[in-house]
Structure 1
C-alpha cells in the first residue's frame, strides 16, 4: 500500500502510496464506490478516522488554501493545502506531477501542507505560495519531502515549452536520455524549496525508484493515459 512511509516526529507521519493502495482519484473514470472503499482502507492503514483524509480538486493552479477544522470534503480548485496546526490529514494525488509534503518543526502541533506541483504550478509559483501561507501563519523550520514523479530524463516536451518554463525556472532544464528537450520538475521543485530556505529530506533508499514512468509500482499518466492516481500524505496520530 505504501511506497514509502516515515514517522518524522512523534505521532506525525509522511507517506506516499503505491499502486498497491489502488487508484485514489474520482476523476479518472473509476467507480466512485470503489475509490471510496480504497480511501477508507488507506485511512485505516494510516490510523485516522474514516472520512477524515482531506483531498483536493486539483486544477494545475498556483492556489494554496487553508484546510482547517470543519466538514471534510474535497477542496475546490486548489493545488496546495495547509493545515496551521497539523490536525487535519492531508492528501495530494499525482501520476507524474510532483507531490510535495511539508511540515513545520520541531515538536507536535506545527503546520503541515501538501502540494501538487505540475508543470504549470512550478511555472506560476505554487511552491512559493504554499511556503508563504505556512510562514504567514507562524510556521518555522520547514521541512519538505519530494515524492515520486516523472524525472527529467523521461519528461519529453517541445523545445518551445522547455524554453518558456526554463526562462522563469532555470533549474527545470533537462535533456531526455534519448537526447530531446525535457523538463526536470522534481529538480525545479527542489531548487525552489531550498531557495526559500526549506530543508528537503530524502524519500526512499534508492533515488532511482522515484521516476513514475520507470517504476511500475507507481501510476504514470505518460505510461498509460488511463492511469489512476497515488497519493502523498501527512497526518498526525
Structure 2
C-alpha cells in the first residue's frame, strides 16, 4: 500500500472503533449506522483509496469540486451524497452523479431537482436539511428549513416525480438555543424524524454528526454520520 492509503486505513479504523463503541454505549447494532466520508477538497485518488478500503458512501459539498471527481471515479461502486447548500443553477450537474441530496431546504430546489431527475431518468434520494437555529419558521444561518416547514416540504418531495423522501439532516447549530448542545440538537432532530415518519414511513434516514460529535449523533439515533477530517486529515487553509 502507498503511504497515503496506509494513512487512510489507520484513520478509518479509528473512526470505525469510535462508531462501534458509540453503538455499544447506545445499545445499537453497528450496522444501524452508515459512515459517509466527506471527501471535499481531497483528490479523486483519495476517493479511490477509500473505495479499496471498503468505503461505499462519500460526500461532497461543492459541485465544481464534486462533478469532475465523480466523473473520474465513475467506475467505482459508490453512493455519492451532496451535502452543501445547493443553488438551482447547479442542479443539472449534481443530478448527474449524486444518489442522495442531503440539503433540500426549499420548494424551488425540489422543483428543479424533480425536473432534472425526470429528464435523466434517475431517482434522487432527498434529505430535508433542518435548521435548528431558525426557530419554527425562517431559514438557518447555514441553510435549512425550520422545523415548522418540514411537513409541507416533505409532502412536496414525496409528490415530486423522480424524487424520494429519505429523511432528515442537520448540522449542529452555532447559534440559538442548541448552540454547543449537540446531544440536545440531535435529540430534537430525532423527534422531528419520528413526526415525519408518521406521514412518510420510509423516510427513516437521519444524517447528523461529524468528526467532533459523531458519538452524540449515534447516541441520539442517527442512521448516517458525515465524517471528513477524522478520516482524511485536517484540510489546508485556503488563501
TM norm. shorter chain > 0.5:
no
Q: Which has the higher helix share?
A: 2
The interval holding the TM-score normalised by the smaller chain is 0.3 to 0.5
TM-score (structure 1 length as normaliser): 0.37
Higher strand share: 1
What TM-score, normalized to structure 2?
0.37
